[in-house]
Structure 1
Amino acid sequence: MDFQTAVKTCFNKYADFNGRASRSEYWWFVLAEVIVLIVASLIHQYVYGIAALAFLLPALAVGARRLHDIGKSGWLQLLMIIPIVNLVLIYFYVQPSQPASNNYGEAPVVSA
């Protein structure tokens, strides 16, 4: 999945916490979020706040779908609250997808 497709998919599934998301979809979206937030912070504090709020739900949704892709519950994102333990989430996010279907649906189609 390329950058544009990943961002478009995540915003089309704005608050959809069901299903699965591939590694590339998740990491391209994170890159887009970081770039937008850095640029917004350079413009103005209020622009940053609006951009952060606009990215909040899709970021949580794609994070939950990414965890579903490896067979974990999306509720594990609550680990972000604990400073050192949230490194476990990064470990989960970089894990390869389960090739077969799991409790959360079919494996995402990854186009090269």
Structure 2
Amino acid sequence: MEYKVLSKCPVCNSNLKVTRLNCNKCGTVIENQFELSKFSYLNREQLDFIEIFLKCRGNIKDVEKELGISYPTVRAKLDETIEALGYKVSKKPKVSSKDVLDMLEKGDISPDEAVKALKDGEI
């Protein structure tokens, strides 16, 4: 039985390194310090979100439908995943009234979200 590579230490939660690779066919063994991909350090929920996001080709409206969550929740999950990959997420940009109304018209946000966005100036 094969197991998923652990990426976090079960004792202190620090990032683990792979130090040994072996070929099941010929028995070759390679030992060194190998880096894992940034994606290896994401939790299961973040990996599932990325898979759906890619399947939907980055269309947030489609991600909303697939996951059954609101536009702001999709954005929050996206920001969380971006940060988990080690990138800085900028503050939410201010949106214009026209942008809010366009998103409402396309169905990207609900009327309640539109009202809040118009009041706060951000989605």
TM-score by length of 2: 0.27
Q: Which structure is richer in relative contact order (CA contacts within 8 A, separation 6 or more)?
A: 1
- Structure (1 or 2) with the larger CA radius of gyration: 2
More helix per residue = 1
